[in-house]
Amino acid sequence: MNRLIFDNSFTRELPADPEKANYRRQVTGACYSRVKPAPVAAPKLVACSLETAQLLDLSADACGRDEFTQIFSGNRLLPGMDPYAACYGGHQFGNWAGQLGDGRAINLGEIINRKSQRLTLQLKGAGSTPYSRNADGLAVLRSSVREFLCSEAMFHLGVPTTRALSLILTGEMVERDMFYDGHPKEEPGAVVCRVAPSFTRFGNFEIFASRNETGVLKQLLDYTIRTDFPDPGESVIPDTRGYIAPYPEKSVNRVYINWFEDVCRRTADMIAHWMRVGFVHGVMNTDNMSVLGLTIDYGPYGWLENYDPNWTPNTTDANGRRYRFGHQPSVAHWNLAQLANAIYPVVGDVDALQQALSVYASRFQEQWNIMVGAKLGLREFEPDTDKELANELFTILSLVETDMTIFFRRLALVDFSGYEEDGSYKSTESMVKKTENTGAGNAGKKPKPNSINRDLLPETLMDAYYVPEQLTDDYKNRMARWLKRYAQRITRDNLPHETRRVNMNSVNPKYVLRNYLAQLAIDKAEQEDFSMIHDLLETLRNPYSEQPDKEHFAIKRPDWARHRPGCSMLSCSS
């Protein structure tokens, strides 16, 4: 552990809060306040991500030592650590909320690993900070299990995300009112160590713009560009490290504009990935948006099980549904507009910022097309025909309770090789071919020539439906027509069935952290049985692979979980 190399540029290069005492207050003119984690009574390691440990050059043996548990519970600081809580603001549910800041997160410091990558270590639930407002800065096991598992699940799904190193019980109880209904109870406390190149959020810039602290705003912006975006790539121009020369009055500072365009692209990519796997963040406030385009702050998130674009997992959002699944791309665009407003005092050019903001829409549409084409197993997305084909499918999926994850995995199993390009059959067996994990179903029936029999929807798709009784004749006819068009489309691609299946299964996961699975793991953990946490962590390391001994983690949400707290709706309480 003592071999970790700390290089704390954030605290070294940016202005600090001069007040040393740790009490709740408004902090002005500073990017952070130094604060130490609160010691805990009896830390106990619950789980550790070995992949994240490897990022930090830590061995499995090091993670199992008591020293590791003491450090990442907040009981001990290593030489070189310079703990602090960051100051930021944010728009919450569309309204400016003023100063927010790291209310229950404490950054231990930044390390440089063997690959020269900069990584910030952050404890969530490690005690109060000047930004805690009326809260205690602590976290409970319930929310910590969800954050730990989802951070790692998202990484293995290929979604840009912060990482989770460890989950540690504190040995102390924390009082929480889970649904803010006047029924608080004590829950086990826990601490998660989160890891990311940076935890800088849109709100870090907003707070200084709101206070007209343009000097600090520019310091933070310059620091972020040279530290977190050091590779010029296609967006940030070279030679920005250390100093950004002023541009003539009324001209555009291309460094800042190019940086903002990069943030727009990264955000678009992240949202497209969310939509691909059916992830609903639940609380897309601007203080929960990373400038690096990473999924950050796993609070009341959820996984879209039955496909419903209007679903949100957040009880606080139940009425307005601002952060519903289908609205996430629009919310991200709105949030980026707030970031543009925040950096305007430094950039000074509205037209350039608006033009840069338009990069988000074009990039998201590009990524959406690529994503949809991949989910459908197409060689290439052809907007003239494929846009309507995809839109019709998503409309059909929303008509009845259809498990999104299972539907796309099972669609990959359907062998359409018996179709001619005009939709007629070469054989009558392709659509009813028995496949893995499905029954023979209607295998003995034969469809009418040149049509898909509405009573003969592929048997392999049937397991995706939660309530088969919802499959009316009108629905079956509509789905049958879509399948015929889809068959014509993929026949034109002339891809072998097995190639299409492999391609689709590489982007459509079989295993996601379904809400009820996370809750079952929490239930066991609260009884000091951590086995399901480890089982899920192991399974979710390979979300696209067939894992015959893990099939029970790939089934639909059981009916008992339909309305159970933690399985359907969640609050921000943690």
What is the CB neighbour count within 10 angstroms for residue 542? 14
**DSSP one-letter code for 446:** -
Indicate whether 233 pLDDT > 60: no
Query: CA-CA distance, 401 to 510, in Å (whole number)?
Result: 18
Domain regions of the chain by residue span: 9-200, 383-494
104-135 pLDDT, tens digit each: 999 999 999 999 999 999 999 999 999 999 88
CA nearest 296: which of 381, 172, 198? 198
Smallest Cα–Cα separation from 303: which of 323, 283, 284, 282?
Answer: 282
Per DSSP, the three-state class of 105 is strand
pLDDT of residue 161: 98
Rounded distance between C-alpha atoms, residue 440 and residue 499, angstroms: 23
How many residues in total does the chain contain?
574
Please check the confidence at residue 419 and state whether its pLDDT lies above 80. no
Which run of H or E residues covers position 193?
strand 185-196
**CA 554 to CA 561: how far, in whole Å?**
15
- Cα(563)–Cα(339) distance, integer angstroms: 37
Q: Are 511 and 537 in contact (CB under 8 A)?
A: no
Match 């060689």 to its residue by tokens.
379
Which DSSP state fits 317? Answer: G
Please state the separation of Cα 76 from the chain's center in Å.
Answer: 30
The phi-psi region of residue 450 (left if phi > 0; otherwise alpha if psi is between -120 and 50; otherwise beta) is: left
Distance between CA 507 and CA 372 in Å, rounded?
10
What pLDDT shows up at residue 305? 92
**pLDDT above 90 for 452:** no
Q: Look at residue 437 in the predicted model and tell me its pLDDT.
A: 43
495-539 confidence digits (pLDDT tens): 999 999 999 999 999 999 999 999 999 999 999 999 999 999 999
- Averaged pLDDT, 431-447: 39
Residue 451 pLDDT level (bands cut at 50, 70, 90): very low
237-265: average pLDDT? 63
Residue 127: what residue type?
Answer: G
3-state secondary structure of 411: helix
Catalytically active residues are 287
| pTM score, whole prediction | 0.91
Evaluate if residue 461 carries a pLDDT over 60: yes
pLDDT of residue 455: 52
Between residues 248 and 398, which one has the greater pLDDT? Answer: 398
CA pair distance 47, 39, nearest whole angstrom: 20
Which of 172, 170, 152 lies closest to 162 in space, CA to CA? 152
Spatial neighbors of 261 by CB under 8 A, at least 6 apart, are 235, 356, 359
Beta bridge partners of 402: 465
- How many Cβ atoms from other residues are within 10 Å of residue 177's Cβ? 12
Helix, strand, or coil (residue 286): helix
Label the pairing between strands 163-176 and 302-303.
unpaired
- Burial track 259-293 (b if 16+ CB lie within 10 A, e otherwise): bbbbbbbbbbbbbbbbbbbbbbbbbbbbbbbbbbb
**For the chain, what percent of residues have pLDDT higher than 70?**
88
pLDDT tens-digit series, residues 59-93: 999 999 999 999 999 999 999 999 999 999 999 99
**Measured between alpha carbons, how far is 234 from 314 in angstroms, rounded to an integer?**
37
Summarised one tens digit per residue, pLDDT across range 273-306 is 999 999 999 999 999 999 999 999 999 999 999 9
Mean pLDDT of 188-204: 98
- The string of DSSP codes covering 486-535 is HHHHHHHHT--HHHHHHHHHTTS-S----HHHHHHHHHHHTTT--HHHHH
Nearest of 512, 493, 317, 321 to residue 407 by alpha carbon: 512
**Are residues 373 and 381 in contact, defined by beta-carbon separation less than 8 angstroms?**
yes
